[in-house]
Structure 1
């Protein structure tokens, strides 16, 4: 059994997996000019990553149970490198789109395996803190990607992809000799011999609706939808509404992501210990919705920075909290449930950017208003679910019960 010395590697790999999603966002305007593509193409490029991540996540989760966590992580890192090299060399829109599809496959291989690996090496008491750090790494990759992409783009629009590929290659070289396998041979053999009935991803999604952890998966979709909805049109929104430059956008993403990650590490464990996971989920969803609306009120740079930082903080606290609950519900199928987790996250990555781009063409404020509605509805659903799961009696029923007594 590996020790927790493997944990820093896992955090790095998770960061890389999420980094590839947002790296392209700040340089989309330049890329679209290079390819002679229109505005809708921006949403397709951001969503393409999530599409293959969605299709391959459950398969990768099952393979990590059968063949081990480490092989799937190595495969994912290799695909990450190939994706970035292809993006750096692409001279037309179609080839660049293919690179994004390959990147999604790499993320699908890595994310469920890393999450299952963390469950393998932690006890139930240690898991909330471990998931908090893993969630910080995941969210930071989401958020730092656009900021890093904008800063590196000053050396050329392809510089971010060459840099990312180099880091990915170094990660592969380190992973093969240094990362031990977390799952015993006996457990892998048991999964190999079980030969469960194969279900395609769409049937698995349909069946997940009836599962006891469906609401948690729905929350994963909601927060990913909200975050990618936010990120996809953020550069266009602040440029057209407030006149921000690419450098301004990069500074906003970098500063806000660092503060948001620090807040997450400082607050997540304390909040969950004091209030429990379920109330934190509903309240963070509500606050995320409010912050989206407040972004529309002013173009002052520092005001926008504060609102952006708050939005990132709320999302950073949400993700590990939900992941902790999911790991408790998964039992012996950590890889499979982690695959479903990644699939719902991928659905958010698919629909969030595409819909944001379409709504942006209708009215510049619509994407954030609609994203706020999605998060608000999710918060209400979460509140109801918390009451049911905790056995809370509605006020009206309580009065009836008191009168009867």
Structure 2
């Protein structure tokens, strides 16, 4: 049996990308904090990266249609490698800022790898590929958490982490070179067009399609999604800084993220089983979302007033459960409401809510944390989610 099949190459690329992503989650704030960077500085990086993602991500699929998935994977992986290399060779806060902005154009690779799988693989291989994604991503998340936590505490550990991330991205460049070439023949008028002009054209096409959607029919689910995402974004921006404030080392943070990942896997399995009993008939997800919002509000309230590391850490478990319930329900609920004509455009706009919240909340969280502390930000995260709780209660 051939090990390096196209399916396995795509999965390997996904693992490399997620390892780097998770390592960055665990060690980036301690690294920035050690260089004197404030939470507002970190929030600024994350906001601008989200803005780039908001504009760039819709273009990626169209660019892949024009230039082929292979060349796009090569270029995006090379951009990621260059951004990690900049972090490796410099500890200047301005250059770190630039490096992270460059990284926004290099990933994440999961959407384009998924599209590549639908093009390169047979139906049976596609089923196997997408079926393995949750397990593969969970293993990569756990591995990245542990590796990033341990290595970052070694002498020159942060540099070693950035070296590994650079190597992972370069490996993805090599993997991409071995993939099939799915470049489609270009029309004559497209042969001389640069990539940016094609991207601009595709964005205009997307905007035209979105204007035709009957948005009023989806206002309720969009409102609930926005309230959840705002609350969760504010909360999760405070986890790393809170741990650093308590003096928690990156290795221990790696253990916490590993535990959260395991909890997420178990919660997802439990929710899938409860759909057949407790949540039978809950096709629009109102009951599940109400329970998730209630659990989130209660937990965030307790954690916002906690003055003990162990109470704060214990609260992350029910928070992970609430996030898992909501995450597995939103898309299902949207697809149950969406018509065939609207489904693609509505789903794209729905996912853009996450990017919008990623754009707006880091600056707010960083500013409020520097002024009033991390606990204040966690308390503030209760407000938008309470709105979601009320909206889902009305829908029951």
- Shared fold (TM-score, shorter chain, > 0.5): yes
**Residues 256 and 305, structure 1, Cα contact 8 Å, conserved in 2:** no
Aligned match of 1:230: 235
**Residues 85 and 162, structure 1, Cα contact 8 Å, conserved in 2:** yes
Q: Which moved more, 1:266-275 or 1:208-217?
A: 208-217
Change in CA separation of 1:136 and 1:27 when aligned onto 2, cut-off 3 Å: same
Aligned match of 2:319: 311
Q: Do residues 199 (structure 1) and 208 (structure 2) align? A: no
Within 5 Å, give how 1:96-135 maps onto structure 2.
96-107=96-107, 110-114=109-113, 134=133
Aligned match of 1:354: 363
**Residues 221 and 347, structure 1, Cα contact 8 Å, conserved in 2:** no
Change in CA separation of 1:21 and 1:97 when aligned onto 2, cut-off 3 Å: farther
Instruction: Tell me which of 251, 267, 270 is aligned to 2:270.
Output: 267
Q: Structure 1, residues 52-105: CA drift from partner, whole Å, max 9, x if none?
A: 111211212333455555554444333322222222223312221121112222
Aligned match of 2:151: 152
Once residues 72 and 272 of structure 1 are traced to their aligned partners in structure 2, the CA distance between those partners, rounded to angstroms, is 39
Aligned match of 2:193: none
Per-residue deviation at 1:308? 0.8
Aligned match of 1:371: 381
Once residues 311 and 15 of structure 1 are traced to their aligned partners in structure 2, the CA distance between those partners, rounded to angstroms, is 27
Change in CA separation of 1:139 and 1:61 when aligned onto 2, cut-off 3 Å: farther
Aligned match of 2:61: 61
Q: Structure 1, residues 123-179: CA drift from partner, whole Å, max 9, x if none?
A: 9xx99x998975676788789866654333113223322222222332333344357
TM-score calculated relative to the size of structure 2: 0.72
**Residues 231 and 384, structure 2, Cα contact 8 Å, conserved in 1:** yes
Per-residue deviation at 1:250? 2.9
Aligned match of 1:278: 285
**Residues 147 and 250, structure 1, Cα contact 8 Å, conserved in 2:** yes
Once residues 319 and 357 of structure 1 are traced to their aligned partners in structure 2, the CA distance between those partners, rounded to angstroms, is 25
**Residues 79 and 105, structure 1, Cα contact 8 Å, conserved in 2:** yes
Gaps of 5+ in 1: 388-405
Q: SS of 2:151's equivalent?
A: helix
Q: Structure 1, residues 183-211: CA drift from partner, whole Å, max 9, x if none?
A: x979x99xx9xx98853999988887926
Within 5 Å, give how 1:18-167 maps onto structure 2.
20=21, 23=24, 26-34=27-35, 36-64=36-64, 71-107=71-107, 110-114=109-113, 134=133, 148-155=147-154, 156-167=157-168
Change in CA separation of 1:17 and 1:63 when aligned onto 2, cut-off 3 Å: farther
Aligned match of 1:255: 259
Aligned match of 2:194: none
Change in CA separation of 1:230 and 1:159 when aligned onto 2, cut-off 3 Å: farther
Q: SS of 2:304's equivalent?
A: coil
Q: Which moved more, 1:207-216 or 1:71-80?
A: 207-216
Q: SS of 1:106's equivalent?
A: coil
Once residues 178 and 165 of structure 1 are traced to their aligned partners in structure 2, the CA distance between those partners, rounded to angstroms, is 21
Once residues 327 and 68 of structure 1 are traced to their aligned partners in structure 2, the CA distance between those partners, rounded to angstroms, is 28
How many residues are treated as equivalent by the alignment?
A: 369
**Residues 143 and 254, structure 1, Cα contact 8 Å, conserved in 2:** yes
Gaps of 5+ in 2: 191-199
Change in CA separation of 1:204 and 1:151 when aligned onto 2, cut-off 3 Å: farther
Change in CA separation of 1:285 and 1:90 when aligned onto 2, cut-off 3 Å: farther
What's the RMSD between the two structures over aligned residues? 4.5
TM-score calculated relative to the size of structure 1: 0.71
Per-residue deviation at 1:293? 1.9
Once residues 244 and 209 of structure 1 are traced to their aligned partners in structure 2, the CA distance between those partners, rounded to angstroms, is 49
Q: Do residues 169 (structure 1) and 170 (structure 2) align? A: yes
**Residues 291 and 310, structure 1, Cα contact 8 Å, conserved in 2:** yes
